[in-house]
Structure 1
Amino acid sequence: MVRRIPSACFSATVALLWVCQGVGYVSDRAVAQPVDRPTLQTPPAVPADYRVSALQADSQGTLWVGSWQGLMQLDPKTGRVLAQLRLASEQVDALALDRAGQLWVGTHNGLFRVDPKTKAVTAQNFLLPSARVLSLLVDQRGFLWVGTDAGLALVNPKSGAVMTTVTDLPGVSANALSLDADGNLWAGTLDGLVQIDTASALIQRRIQNLPGTTVQVLAASNWETLWVGTPSGLLEVNPRGGLRSLTRLRGRNITSLRFDRVNRLWVGTANGLLRVNPFNGAIDGAIARLPSSQVVSLAPDTGGKLWVGTREGLAWVSMTTFRTGVHQVFTRR
C-alpha cells in the first residue's frame, strides 16, 4: 500500500549530549549552546556492544561512525575523535548525507537529522512504517528514502515531511537500498529484490528465488549492474534482470559491499574482508588483523583509507599498501 502523507511530522526538541575534544556542550533544544561545565575529554572506548554498523563521510571531509553505542565524528586522516552525539536512541544502523550536507541517522528507535557543522539534532521522525530504521538513501531528486523493518518511507529532507509510505513491500523489510542507472530504487528484502519507481513509489519489478533468499546488502557498479549480497553468496544483476553468481563466493555470508574509486569491490563477510575483482570474480586479497572477522560496514577512499566497521570495533586499511590498523576508541582490545 502506498500512502501519501500531506503534513510534516518532525519534532525539533530532541535532547542531545555531545562531546568535542576540549569543549563540553549540553543541549535540550535543536541548536546546541555551550554551558558552563567542566571540560569533557575524549570519549572513552565504546563500553558494551562494539558493533560499528554504519559509516558516512561528510562534505567537510570527516567520517561519521554509527555504532550500537551512538554516533561519533572522526578525522579520518588522524583518527582523532571530533565529537560524540548522544541520541534518544543510541543503536545506529544507517547513515546518509543529503544534498544540503545534513546527516540522516537511522536507529532502532526512529530517524534523526543532524547538522554536521553545529552537531545539532534538527529533526526527528516518528511517523515511519516502523521505528526500526535499517537503510537510508538519497535519490536523484534529492529526496530521502527510509527503509524500515515494516516497509519504506519517502521524506523531504528540507522540510522533514513524510511524503509517501510503502507498507505492502514484498519481503516486508527494506534491509538495503540502491539506485540503478535509470534512477529507479532497488530494495533488498527478506524475499529478494524489489524495484520501485521513485516518482510514483509503485513497485515495478520483483526478483525472487535468489540463493540465500534474503538480500542483506546492495552496491551499484559504474557499468549499470547491481551487486547483491545474501547469506549464501554474491550476485550481479544486469539491467535486464539476468543474474551472475560469483563462484568463489558461493556459500559466503555477505554482510557489506562497497566499490572504491578504481572499481575494486570490497566484500565484507561474516568471516573476513575480501578484495574482489568484479570483472572476473577473482579474490585479489583478504584483509587480516581486524577487530572481528564479522564485517558490517565499509567506507572506502576516506582520508586515504578504507574504514571498516566490524562487530567488535572499527579498523582502517591503507588504500595503497593494504596495511591495517585498529581504532582504539572502538575496540575491545
Structure 2
Amino acid sequence: MAVSVATSRFSVRSWLLIFSMQAAMGMTASAAFSQDVILTQPSPQIETAPFYPPDAPPARRTPLPDRRQDIEEQTVTADYRISALQPDSKGALWVGSWQGLAKIDPKTGRILNRVSLPNTTVGALAQDRSGRIWVGTYEGLVRIDPRSGEITAQNFALPSNRVLSMLVDQRGYLWVGTDAGLALISPDQGLLMTTVKNLPGVSANALTLDPLGNLWVGTLNGLVQVNTASALLMRQIDTIPGKTVQALDFDPWGMLWLGTPTGLYAADVGIQRTIQLVRPPSAKPAAKSTARPAGKGRSANHPSPKSRSQSSRPVSQPPAIEKIVFVSTDPALFKLRTVTQLQGRNVMTLHFDKLNSIWVGTTTGLLRVNPFNGATGGEIPYLPSSRVLSLSPDTGGKLWVGTSEGLAWVSTETFRGKPHATFLPVGR
C-alpha cells in the first residue's frame, strides 16, 4: 500500500513537470491537459490507493447582513464618515456618523447634544410628523425624543438589521430601506406593518416619493416603484447605466434624478402634469374698529364719514400665479438622459436647494449642477474629504456636507467649505 501511495505522489509531480515544460514550449492549456492525462494514467494492472488530505477545507459562507459591519471594522481602526444629515422642524440639524449621533445648531455650529445609541454606526435618519427622530443603524431602528435625546423605541423585526435609507410618506408612515428589503413602520404605535423582502435588486439604497405619492427605490439592479398604500410593486426598471442606484430625488417638475457609480441621470417616469392658475389668499389685514370715544356730539358706535369712506374701498386681489398640478402617470413611459458633465463620476448623494439647483456629492468632490442644461459651477474646495456621502441644503443659511472624514458647511456666498468638529479623530 505504501508503494502505491508513493507512486501516486510521483505521478502528480511528473504531471506538473510535463505541464511546465509544455507551457514553456508554447502549448495551449487545453492541449497540455489532455496529453498529461494520458501520460500520467497508471497501468491498468496496478491499483493506486486514493490520497486524502488530513482535513477538508471549511465551506465558504457569505456573511450575514448584521455581521458585515464587524468585517468592515476589522480593516479600519476608526471611521469618521458622516453618513446621514436630517434637519428637524425646530431648526436643528441631526448628524449621523459611524461614531454616533449628534444634534447641532446649524446657524452657529454649536453642538447641542450627543445621543448615546446601542450601535454607533448610523446609516440613515428621518423625522416623523410628530417631530420624533428615527435613527437607522447597523443593528436596527431607534426612535429618539428630540427634546431629551432619550430612546423611546427600538429593535423592530426588519428584513435586515442594516438600515441604509428612510423616508416618511404622505400618510405619515415610515419606510425603512435595508440591505435585504423594505419595511413599513407606524411611527405613532411603533409597529411593523409590513415588509417587502423579495425586492428586485435586493438592497434599498435610496428612497424618494414622486409627486403622486408613490415610492421609488434605488437598488443594486436599478429602480423599483412601490405603491405606498398597498406595498405592491408597480414596476421595475433594470436598464439603468451603472446598475446600482445610490441617490434619488424628484425635481419640482416631476423629473426623477438618480445617481449611480457611472454618473448622474434624469428620467421622465411618465408623470402627467398640467398648469393651473391659482390665486393666493388675499393679504387683507383684519378689520380695525373705527369707533371713537363719545364726545363732541358723536356717538362711539358711529364712525366718522371719513372712516366710512376708507373702509368701503375695494381691496385689490393679488394676481393669479401658475402652478404645476400632477394628475396621473403613464407606467409605460421611461426616458433617461445623461448629464454629460458628470459622466464617469460615482454619485453618492444628491439634493435640490430652494433655488432648484442640484447639489451632487460624488467620491471625487461636490458640485452644483444646473438642471436645465447640466452645467456645473466647479467643485467646492476645502472639504474634509472629496468623498461626499450626505447633504442638507438651506439649513441654517448654509449647505451642510457629510464626507468620509467628517462634517463641513459651505457658504452660499463664497461656495467654499469649512470643516466642523462634530466628529473628528482625537488630536485632529
**What band does the TM-score fall into relative to the shorter chain?**
0.7 to 0.9
Counterpart in 2 of 1:121?
151
Is 1:283 the counterpart of 2:369 in the alignment? no
Counterpart in 2 of 1:257?
350
Contact 1:291/1:331 (8 A) holds in 2: no
Which is worse superposed, 118-127 or 272-281? 118-127
The DSSP-based 3-state class of the residue aligned with 1:285 is strand
Counterpart in 2 of 1:325?
418
The DSSP-based 3-state class of the residue aligned with 1:248 is helix
Contact 2:99/2:423 (8 A) holds in 1: no
Cα shift at 1:321 = 2.5
Counterpart in 2 of 1:221?
251
Cα shift at 1:331 = 3.4
Task: Give the partner amino acid of 2:150.
Answer: A
Is 1:238 the counterpart of 2:268 in the alignment? yes
Q: Aligned partners of 1:99 and 1:328: how far apart in 2? A: 30
Is 1:70 the counterpart of 2:100 in the alignment? yes
The DSSP-based 3-state class of the residue aligned with 1:331 is coil
Contact 2:126/2:133 (8 A) holds in 1: yes
Is 1:53 the counterpart of 2:146 in the alignment? no
Higher relative contact order (CA 8 A, sep 6+): 1
From 119, 122, 128, the counterpart of 1:89: 119
Cα shift at 1:195 = 0.2
Contact 2:102/2:422 (8 A) holds in 1: no
Contact 2:99/2:121 (8 A) holds in 1: yes
From 204, 209, 230, the counterpart of 1:174: 204
Q: Larger Cα Rg: Structure 1 or Structure 2?
A: 2
Cα deviation per residue 1:189-217 (whole Å; 9 max; x = unaligned)? 00000000000100001111211100011
Task: Give the partner amino acid of 1:145.
Answer: W
Cα deviation per residue 1:130-189 (whole Å; 9 max; x = unaligned)? 100000000000000000000000000000111110000000000000001111000000
Q: Aligned partners of 1:213 and 1:281: how far apart in 2? A: 21
Q: Give structure 2 stretches of 5+ with no counterpart.
A: 1-76, 271-333
Q: Aligned partners of 2:416 and 2:362: how far apart in 1? A: 19
Is 1:198 the counterpart of 2:228 in the alignment? yes
Structure 1 length as normaliser, TM-score?
0.85
Cα shift at 1:268 = 0.3
Task: Give the partner amino acid of 2:372.
Answer: F
Q: Aligned partners of 1:181 and 1:214: how far apart in 2? A: 23
Q: Aligned partners of 1:49 and 1:239: how far apart in 2? A: 38
Q: Aligned partners of 1:239 and 1:295: how far apart in 2? A: 27
Task: Give the partner amino acid of 2:341.
Answer: R
Structure with greater helix percent:
2
Cα shift at 1:263 = 0.4
Q: Aligned partners of 2:253 and 2:134: how far apart in 1? A: 28
The DSSP-based 3-state class of the residue aligned with 2:211 is coil
Cα deviation per residue 1:283-310 (whole Å; 9 max; x = unaligned)? 1231011000000000001110000000
The DSSP-based 3-state class of the residue aligned with 1:59 is coil
Question: May I ask how many residue pairs the two structures share in their alignment?
Answer: 287
Give the alignment's Cα RMSD to 1 decimal.
1.1
Structure with greater strand percent:
1
Is 1:130 the counterpart of 2:160 in the alignment? yes
Cα shift at 1:324 = 2.0
Q: Aligned partners of 1:129 and 1:187: how far apart in 2? A: 15
Contact 2:382/2:416 (8 A) holds in 1: no
Q: Give structure 1 stretches of 5+ with no counterpart.
A: 1-46
Counterpart in 2 of 1:140?
170
Contact 1:194/1:207 (8 A) holds in 2: yes
Counterpart in 2 of 1:11?
none
Task: Give the partner amino acid of 2:138.
Answer: H
Contact 1:111/1:125 (8 A) holds in 2: yes
Task: Give the partner amino acid of 1:315.
Answer: A
From 306, 309, 322, the counterpart of 2:402: 309
Matches within 5 A, 1:21-36: none
Cα shift at 1:229 = 0.4
Q: Aligned partners of 1:304 and 1:200: how far apart in 2? A: 39
The DSSP-based 3-state class of the residue aligned with 1:330 is coil
Is 1:292 the counterpart of 2:322 in the alignment? no
Structure 2 length as normaliser, TM-score?
0.66
Q: Aligned partners of 1:125 and 1:202: how far apart in 2? A: 25
Is 1:149 the counterpart of 2:242 in the alignment? no
Determine what percentage of the aligned residue pairs are the same residue. 63
Task: Give the partner amino acid of 2:348.
Answer: T
Contact 1:231/1:254 (8 A) holds in 2: yes
Q: Aligned partners of 2:421 and 2:183: how far apart in 1? A: 36
Task: Give the partner amino acid of 1:322.
Answer: F
